[in-house]
Amino acid sequence: MMKQEELIFRLPTREDAEEVSAYRKEFLNADSSMDGAGPLRRFADPFEWLREIENYRNPETVPAGKVQASQFICVRERDNRIVGMLQVRHYFNDYLEKYAGHIGYSVRPSERRKGYAKWMLRQGLDFCRSIGLARVLISCEVNNEASRRTILANGGVYESTVYEPEEQIDLQRYWIDLSTPAAEEKRS
């Protein structure tokens, strides 16, 4: 199990390019979804991905049909390895409101079951508070027990299950209230 002080939650930089490539490759090799990594699946060149996520961060350069978003990486300090990624969408478009929510995240396949997702989500929720969100929507596939437990451990309250027709999957929707002391106590 990881110790909190071993992890750094931050924006990715050009210095992370090699690790970003390795992260992407591991997901592709495992045929696993890269939730919370923005458009990383589409970009073999990590520098192109870094440019694209910068476009998402800036309200003036958000790609058409998309929303302003902040991309974070979770780096294990002792070996500078990216163990996870998390993306915060600052507001909704129709798709996000119905299906994906404010936050997406993933943990590198070889680094799962170590508590990284729970810790990362806690950091993401703190960021959501800092940009003025009072509550956030997070969804996960019905059969993703690890993600469901991560959301619940961070104060998630189940709302509904919806069918996403493009991916042909059922998604559970959870809300986390960021304005009540009860949410803070649950997350401690």
Domain boundaries, the chain: 4-187
Q: State phi, psi for 180 to the nearest 5 degrees.
A: -105, 150
The whole-angstrom separation of Cα 111 and Cα 64 is 34
CB-based contacts of 20: which residues, under 8 Å, 6+ apart? 12, 40, 46, 49, 50, 73, 82
Question: Is residue 99 very low, low, confident or very high in pLDDT (cuts 50, 70, 90)?
Answer: very high
Q: Which two tokens stand for residue 111?
A: 């680094």
- Mean pLDDT, the chain, rounded, equals 93
Query: What's the fold here for domain 4-187?
Result: Aminopeptidase (3.40.630)
Span 135-164, pLDDT tens digits: 999 999 999 999 999 999 999 999 999 999
DSSP-derived 3-state class of residue 80: coil
What's the confidence (pLDDT) of residue 79?
95
Q: Show the CA angle centred on residue 6, arms to residues 182 and 132, nearest 5°.
A: 40
The whole-angstrom separation of Cα 103 and Cα 36 is 7
Span 57-66, pLDDT tens digits: 999 999 999 9
DSSP-derived 3-state class of residue 15: helix
Contact 37, 86 (CB under 8 A): no
Q: In the chain, what's the furthest Cα-to-Cα distance?
A: 43
DSSP helix, strand, coil percent of the chain (3-state; round to 5): 40, 25, 30
- Report, in angstroms and rounded to the nearest whole number, the Rg of the chain calculated over CA atoms: 16
